[in-house]
Copies of this chain bind each other. A is one copy, B any other.
């Protein structure tokens, strides 16, 4: 008896083959590429369209963040196509955040329990890996430089333009997956249909990527296995490590105001400002002024829309739910979309697209909304509350509660980052915890008050009553 031969990772179920039209994925970024890989592994012919050139050949840079934080939801999605181990080898675990104050004093906070980490990965490298895997599969067609000019939903047709030649042409689609990002052309067509709910909301902050250089011999000049944060009230800088010893820093900064992009018009102003507020980072930034004026200033948008499907079209990733980056979940929520869709195809079968798309939307929409809220919540927390002594005291008390009752008080960050609990449930639990703390904190003026019998009794009552 011989074992059946199977495709690369050995898990692809039998799927349609031959004359069936391909599934079309718009957008060859992280989510589109991963989705195409999932669909191809199920046996579907897949074509992946992108208006941009192949980033493996062009070395494009669009001012997108270079480093991303991969956490449990993202890992599960990568495991599903058998590439988690490959990616892990080129990622850097970050076990804690390290805060830098203006005097260069450092304070650390672990992200989770011992061994729990988020992982710094390079966006382009991850994208390249996914594209290489796709290219190696039969039945997958990568079509770069093809811009979606217009989507004809009623006629199920794509009006495309070959960017290199200018040629415009039309072709039909059978199932179309819009994974073409926050400014999705696919979503643009849905938005013009009747009763389409849509919003795009910008923060009055932009972000700019800067480089902290490697130390001598490719060593890390700051603690390697940490995410570094320079919180400064109305703005902040963060930095994630690269494999070559450098760190990729991101400044989140108001567009206007006393400390803002508008207030730093030239190299002298930038240099003086950084020397004042990010003094310990400046020695690692010899190209600061050059980068500041060469690198783009990117905006921070939250996109919400509904429905996500219509006319054999489904939106996923940023096209369906672009969020601000302050929880490090943007890629993870998009990757989780792929896991969830794959699970629904397992449940309903690969021919049941209408049912799969409808259930995907129904399951994912509340979770994407919750993640959007969480990301904005973290922005406000990092910007406004992190300097408030009462808030910091509350955070220390919450840590004490989590340590005392680890089964009954799971920190919100842990639920979001180190679990697969639906985001909406994590967010609801976090709000219940906030309510408990609002009732508890009036009795706590200092850390020691927590140990008093009255506070402990009330806490037990709260834990029994609410199930936080």
- Enumerate chain A interface residues (CB-CB to B < 8 A): 191, 194-202, 255, 299
A299 pairs with B195, CB closer than 8 A? yes
Q: Which of B195, B196, B201 contacts A197 (CB 8 A)?
A: B201
CA distance A428 to B200 in the complex (A): 26
Q: Which of B195, B198, B255, B299 contacts A199 (CB 8 A)?
A: B198
Query: Per DSSP, are chain A's interface residues mostly helix, strand or loop, or mixed?
Result: strand
Minimum CB–CB distance for A183 against chain B, Å = 8
CA distance A216 to B301 in the complex (A): 60
Chain B residues positioned under 8 Å from A196 (CB to CB): 200, 202
- Nearest to A203 among chain B residues (CB) is B195
Chain B residues positioned under 8 Å from A198 (CB to CB): 198-200
Q: Which of B197, B202, B299 contacts A202 (CB 8 A)?
A: B197
CA distance A198 to B196 in the complex (A): 13
CA distance A202 to B198 in the complex (A): 9
Interface centre among A195, A196, A198, A199 (most CB of B within 10 A): A195
CA distance A201 to B196 in the complex (A): 7
CA distance A200 to B255 in the complex (A): 26
Minimum CB–CB distance for A52 against chain B, Å = 18
CA distance A284 to B191 in the complex (A): 39
Chain B residues positioned under 8 Å from A201 (CB to CB): 197, 199
Minimum CB–CB distance for A205 against chain B, Å = 10
- Tell whether A199 pairs with B199 under 8 Å between CB atoms, given A194-B299, A299-B194: yes
**14 interchain pairs (CB within 8 A)?**
A191-B200, A194-B299, A195-B202, A195-B255, A195-B299, A196-B200, A197-B200, A197-B201, A197-B202, A198-B198, A198-B199, A198-B200, A199-B200, A199-B201
Chain B residues positioned under 8 Å from A299 (CB to CB): 194-195
Chain B residues positioned under 8 Å from A195 (CB to CB): 202, 255, 299
Chain B residues positioned under 8 Å from A197 (CB to CB): 200-202
CA distance A198 to B305 in the complex (A): 11
- Nearest to A194 among chain B residues (CB) is B299
Seed contacts A194-B299, A196-B200, A199-B200; 11 additional CB < 8 Å A-B pairs: A191-B200, A195-B202, A195-B299, A196-B202, A197-B200, A197-B201, A197-B202, A198-B198, A198-B199, A199-B199, A199-B201
CA distance A299 to B201 in the complex (A): 23
Chain B residues positioned under 8 Å from A200 (CB to CB): 191, 196-199
Chain B residues positioned under 8 Å from A199 (CB to CB): 198-201
- Nearest to A204 among chain B residues (CB) is B195
Minimum CB–CB distance for A206 against chain B, Å = 8
Minimum CB–CB distance for A175 against chain B, Å = 25
CA distance A191 to B187 in the complex (A): 14
CA distance A255 to B196 in the complex (A): 14
Minimum CB–CB distance for A136 against chain B, Å = 37
Chain B residues positioned under 8 Å from A191 (CB to CB): 200
Minimum CB–CB distance for A240 against chain B, Å = 25
CA distance A195 to B182 in the complex (A): 12
CA distance A198 to B194 in the complex (A): 16
- Nearest to A304 among chain B residues (CB) is B199
Minimum CB–CB distance for A304 against chain B, Å = 8
- Nearest to A191 among chain B residues (CB) is B200
CA distance A371 to B244 in the complex (A): 56
Minimum CB–CB distance for A388 against chain B, Å = 28
Minimum CB–CB distance for A94 against chain B, Å = 30
CA distance A222 to B194 in the complex (A): 35
Minimum CB–CB distance for A193 against chain B, Å = 10
Minimum CB–CB distance for A362 against chain B, Å = 15
- Nearest to A202 among chain B residues (CB) is B195
CA distance A196 to B299 in the complex (A): 10
CA distance A196 to B199 in the complex (A): 10
Minimum CB–CB distance for A361 against chain B, Å = 16
CA distance A201 to B194 in the complex (A): 11
